[in-house]
Every structure is written in C-alpha cells, then in structure tokens.
Amino acid sequence: MEKVAKIAEKKAAQKQMSGEKQSKRKYSGKKLLLAVDCIIFGFDEQGLKLLVIKRGFEPCMGRLSLMGGFVGDTESSEDAAIRVLHELTGLEGIYMEQLHLFSSPLRDPGARTAVMAYFALIDIKSYQSQMSDDFQARWVPAEEVPKLIFDHNEMVEMAKERLRYKAALHPLLFELLPDKFTIPQLQILYEKLYDTKFDPGNFFKKIRSTGLLVRLKERDKLNSKKGAYFYQLDKEKYEEGFNTFLNFVYKPRFKNKVQKKSSVKK
Amino acid sequence: MEKVAKIAEKKAAQKQMSGEKQSKRKYSGKKLLLAVDCIIFGFDEQGLKLLVIKRGFEPCMGRLSLMGGFVGDTESSEDAAIRVLHELTGLEGIYMEQLHLFSSPLRDPGARTAVMAYFALIDIKSYQSQMSDDFQARWVPAEEVPKLIFDHNEMVEMAKERLRYKAALHPLLFELLPDKFTIPQLQILYEKLYDTKFDPGNFFKKIRSTGLLVRLKERDKLNSKKGAYFYQLDKEKYEEGFNTFLNFVYKPRFKNKVQKKSSVKK
DNA sequence: TCAAAAGTGTTAAATGTACACCCATGC
DNA sequence: GCATGGGTGTACATTTAACACTTTTGA
C-alpha cells in the first residue's frame, strides 16, 4: 500500500558519506503550518457518501473542499480533528483515524502547509444539517466526488481505499449505521462498498456467527413484508472482536485465482 | 487499532453551536517544527532488532533515540524520511511507510515539534555499520528496547504492533532477509515475530503455495546436513501479490476461540 | 548407521459456497 | 393465495492443521 520507497535496487547506491558530523540540521525559518482535514463518510440508501463544504474564505473561496482547520498551539492533531469534526457536525465520540500526512512542499499554493488527513465514519441520520449552514456542507456520492481543492481528491481516494481495506478485516461499517439496524441493511452497505453481491443466507450466517450483534425484539417492517429483526452491537464484544473479524473481500488466497462472487438470486 | 475517538455515547452531546461564521481560525505565530523519526527494523539469528543512535546534540545529548531529522523547506516528510534513513544506513530503495503522526503539544520539551514516524525494514547484513559511526548507532533487541528519549518508546511499540499486523496479511518480512534466503530462515523470522512455532511442513507448503518465490539451484548447507534450497522473490508476483497474502496469525475467527498454535516436534 | 533438518503426502476437521427451502406478511 | 424478502438447513468443495513419512548428508 503506502510504500514510500520502492524495493528495487535495494543495495544499489551505498554511497560513501561525507564525513560530516551528526548535528542538528539547520533550516530556514520558513514557517510551516500544520493542519487537519477530515474525510467524513456517511451511508444512505443511495450508497456511500462524503461530506464536503463550500469554502468560505480565500484562497479558493466558494470551491468545494474537505472540512479542515489548523492545529492549535495547545492541541494535538487528534484534538484538532475532533474539534473540526464537531464544529461541522455537532457530533462527538466518532470513529476516526489517521489516514496519511500530506506534506509535499508544493501542495498548497499559499503558505507551506502539511495536512494530517483523518477519516471519520458517522451515522448520516445523526448528523444535523442545520448545524453546518455556515459551512454550506453537502453530501456527495463517494463514487463520484466532484473536483475538490488542492489534493483533497487524492485524500478521498486514499480514504476510500483504506475504508475498503479495513472494513474487510474489522467490524467498521457498523459506525455508518444507526444504533439499531437490520442485517439486510448491513448487507446493502457491504455490497455498495465493494460493488458486489452476497448471498443473503450466507451473509446472514456470517454476520451472526461473529457474535458481535444482539437481536432486539422489534422488526423493521418498512423494507419487507416479513420484516427483519433489528440488531444492536454488543459493545463489549465489539471492542474485543475488533481485531478478529471476517474477511469479506480481501481473502487471503494463495493462487492467483479470480475473485469469486457469491451468487445472487435474480 | 488507532481509534482517535471512542464510539461511546455517539449522539450524546450535540451542543448548539455558537453561530460563528466560517472563517480561517487565527493562531498565535508560535513556530511549529515538522520532523521525522525512523523506526528501523532488522533481523538476525537472535531475533528482531531495532536500530537506535546515541544522540549527539542537545537536548538529551548522549541518550538513546531513534534516528530523525527535520523536514526541509523543499522536502515532503517522505523525502525527509528517505534522506534520514540514507544518512544513517547508506541504503536506498528501502521499504518504508508512514506509521503515525505524533503531535502532542507536550511531547517535546523544547520547541513545539510534530513528528511523523516512519517504519522501515532493512536487510541487517546490507547495513554497513561503519557508515553510522558519527551517529553511534547500534542494534538493540526489539523485545527489550532500552529507554529512549521523549515518546520514542511509544513509537517503537506502535511500529512493532503495525509490523505484526501487516506481516500477517502481506509478504512484508522478505524485506528483512537478504536477496537469497531459505524457507526455514523465513520460518524462524515469523516464529520470532509472533513468538510462536509453526509446523515446518505446513509452513513450507503455505509459503510455496503463494507462488511468490523462485527456487534457486544452490542449497544452504550451513544450517543443516541436507541443506535447504535458497529462494528469491519473484519481483513481479511480489508486487501483484502484496495485497493477497496469507493470514498467519490474525486469522479471522468468528467465535472467540483460543488461538491455536501449530504443533512442533520437540 | 544414526541423527537431524528439509521437504512430501495423507487424512480429518473446520470453514466457505451454493442453493433448496421454510417463514411471515401485505397485497 | 401468492409474491417477496427474511432467515434456516444441508450438501458439497475448499482450506487448514496434524502428523506420518521420505530424503539427504555430516558426523
């Protein structure tokens, strides 16, 4: 994935080093700013969504961008990311993780700015749009993200890849659903994310067998006649089981076999 | 893994926001420095090793630390990490990836410094120790890392965890071995990293079945009477196969079963 | 010849996949 | 009743783990 240096000609250039002594390198006093950008995902019936804002200040005022902000003097980048997310959505306690530091000296036309990108998963319904009027925020489909400023599209692509990677190994996608959800709902989410179809019976058993879910009394009668049971995460098992989830897509396969898709009834 | 914000009481505090308009926040002109630290792993018969240096300047002169440096005006953090690694080891084209940004405002007693930590895997034998005389570098066992400055021990722990995680899913550990290696050698590496034993026959077949290795004519007669064939990576398949390797340890398991260890003959 | 490690073969258990089929309900 | 999606059962295929066995060769 994020290999910085290629493995080629490993031992190629073992140049003789100038005998310069170890010393703290000196750099020009050029100011470097540290910022955070949040790649915020949500999910609705249409599919995976990305939350973007209309930039309210120069440079690039009026254009679409990720929500971001500078890291304050008394903040870590995590603090800043949590603050920025809260400013936009009003939400707290959200799943968030470091994605990648973007630090090319050319990336921002203005001052030199390094950006720590975070990706976050929220329940789209818990987000109150009126809170972000100031930011002119909107949800855009994650499959067709419009042109954003700077390198923000690159960040989004990386975040989507990371999400697909992690969600195949860890029970991450629950973060995109409301507290109570049905297994068919979850299946749609997986199917959208991986652009594939799963056999409903097998999907059901696979999810149940994780032991991470608690079945509730109620059924969701909106989407089918029979109705599907609502489930909730078993918080305790969720924490434990985070690292021992199931491979949905990135299955370890020894031979270069074609990835089989589960059948689906038409 | 690196959850920044816990999932608890998600929708708890949706406070009413002060209606302040979107604007570029203003921060004090306090200078922020961006640095990189390299967590460099090697492997020898003893086990996994970490390369540390004796710090040659204040603060904390004379104490052990990771090799690091500031990100220059014309560099990205990747550039800086590659440069720093090269300064210390003379090596190029090394496997390296972003680990985590450490940016607590309290982490460095001196100036406010955010550090992007990178971890790197090198073939310990290709490293020429004389190159790093200036840095007074030394290899320490990764299982008993001495006290390092600042938050460097925390970085090392995170890097070890990441290495174990990734190596279970991707063919990463070859980076720690010389060009030509034997499968029993590789097995020892896996066994040390995961502090476990694998059945030699099954290990052999598992590795061979990846199709990532090319068998050479020669055998390594040093470690056994029969001698084990040397292998090389099939570069092409290595690139392709990076994302479809095998789960050695972090096996997806649905029930909370005890992790079984393969038997080993005594 | 014997011990020891490398490598192969075989089997049983665990897991995954396909798909038949039952269930509950609104129409 | 019957169509529809939810959910269960089952059979077969694949993968994995355990371990017996063969190979090679230095001592």
| A83 and A177 assigned to the same domain | no
A101 contacts on B by Cβ (under 8 Å): 77, 98, 101, 116
**A183 nearest nt, CA–C1':** D6
| B126 and B201 assigned to the same domain | no
B30 contacts on A by Cβ (under 8 Å): 73
Distance CA A148, CA A115 (A): 15
Q: Tens digit of pLDDT for each residue in A12-71?
A: 333 333 334 454 454 545 789 999 999 999 999 889 999 999 998 878 899 999 999 999
| B88 and B212 assigned to the same domain | no
DSSP letters, B207-253, are HHHT--EEEEEEEE-SS-SS-EEEEEE-HHHHHHHTTS---SSS---
Distance CA B154, CA B156 (A): 5
Q: Let me know if residue B109 belongs to a domain.
A: yes
| B118 and B179 assigned to the same domain | no
- Whether A158 shows a pLDDT value over 60: the answer reads yes
- Whether A92 shows a pLDDT value over 90: the answer reads yes
- Whether A239 shows a pLDDT value over 60: the answer reads yes
pLDDT recorded at residue A10: 39
- Calculate what percentage of chain A has a pLDDT beyond 70: 79
Domain boundary (A132, A166, A200) is at A166
DSSP character at residue B109: S
Contacts 24+ apart (CB under 8 A), A172-177: A172/A95, A172/A121, A173/A43, A173/A121, A174/A233, A174/A238, A175/A94, A175/A95, A175/A121, A175/A122, A175/A123, A175/B7, A176/A41, A176/A42, A176/A43, A176/A48, A176/A121, A176/A122, A176/A123, A176/A124, A177/A43, A177/A123
Domain count, chain B: 2
Q: Which comes out higher in pLDDT, residue B161 or A247?
A: B161
Domain boundary (B142, B166, B190) is at B166
Q: How far is B163 from chain A (nearest CA, A)?
A: 13
State the CATH number of the domain containing residue A95. 3.90.79.10
Q: Let me know if residue B141 belongs to a domain.
A: yes
Confidence of residue A247 (pLDDT cuts 50, 70, 90): low
Q: What is the pTM of this model?
A: 0.87
DSSP character at residue B11: T
Q: How far is B217 from chain A (nearest CA, A)?
A: 22
**A77: alpha, beta or left? (left if phi > 0; alpha if psi -120 to 50):** alpha
pLDDT recorded at residue A36: 98
Residue type for position B32 = L
Q: Which comes out higher in pLDDT, residue B147 or A111?
A: B147
| B217 and B115 assigned to the same domain | no
State the CATH number of the domain containing residue B216. 1.10.10.10
pLDDT recorded at residue B244: 73
pLDDT recorded at residue B219: 95
Domain boundary (A114, A138, A166) is at A166
| A112 and A210 assigned to the same domain | no
Out of A78, A91, A245, whose CB is closest to B252?
A245
Pair A27, B36: CB distance under 8 Å? no
| A145 and A180 assigned to the same domain | no
Distance CA B256, CA B251 (A): 12
| B100 and B160 assigned to the same domain | yes
**B227 nearest nt, CA–C1':** C6
pLDDT recorded at residue B255: 24
- What H or E segment, with its residue span, contains residue B46? none
- Beta-strand ranges (E) seen in chain A are 33-44, 47-54, 64-65, 67-70, 95-102, 113-121, 138-141, 181-182, 213-220, 228-233
pLDDT recorded at residue A130: 62
Q: Let me know if residue B126 belongs to a domain.
A: yes
A209 CA vs C24 C1’ separation (Å)? 23
pLDDT means per 10 residues, chain B with 266 residues, are: 45 39 53 96 94 89 96 96 95 96 90 96 85 83 97 98 91 95 96 92 94 95 95 92 68 28 26
pLDDT recorded at residue A228: 97
DSSP character at residue B12: S
Mean pLDDT over each residue of chain A, to the nearest integer:
83
Q: Let me know if residue B256 belongs to a domain.
A: no
Record the tokens describing residue A216, joined without a space.
């509730």
pLDDT recorded at residue A244: 72
- Whether A128 shows a pLDDT value over 90: the answer reads no
A230 CA vs D9 C1’ separation (Å)? 23
| A88 and A128 assigned to the same domain | yes
| A98 and A215 assigned to the same domain | no
Pair B1, B99: CB distance under 8 Å? no
B219 CA vs D21 C1’ separation (Å)? 22
Whether the ω angle into residue A141 lies within 30 degrees of 0, i.e. cis, is no
- Strand D bases near protein CB (under 7 Å) are 3-9, 15-21, 23-26
Q: Let me know if residue A125 belongs to a domain.
A: yes
| A59 and A124 assigned to the same domain | yes
Please tell me whether residue A88 adopts helix, strand or coil conformation. Answer: helix
φ/ψ of residue B130, rounded to 5:
-60, -20
Asked if B24 is an interface residue toward chain A (Cβ–Cβ < 8 A), one would say yes
Q: Let me know if residue B66 belongs to a domain.
A: yes
Asked if A240 is an interface residue toward chain B (Cβ–Cβ < 8 A), one would say yes
Please tell me whether residue A21 adopts helix, strand or coil conformation. Answer: coil
Domain extent, residue A200, equals 171-241
| A198 and A143 assigned to the same domain | no
Q: Tens digit of pLDDT for each residue in A159-189?
A: 999 999 999 889 999 999 999 999 999 999 9
pLDDT recorded at residue B109: 76
**In whole angstroms, how large is the CA radius of gyration of chain A?**
22
Q: Let me know if residue B138 belongs to a domain.
A: yes
Q: Let me know if residue B251 belongs to a domain.
A: no
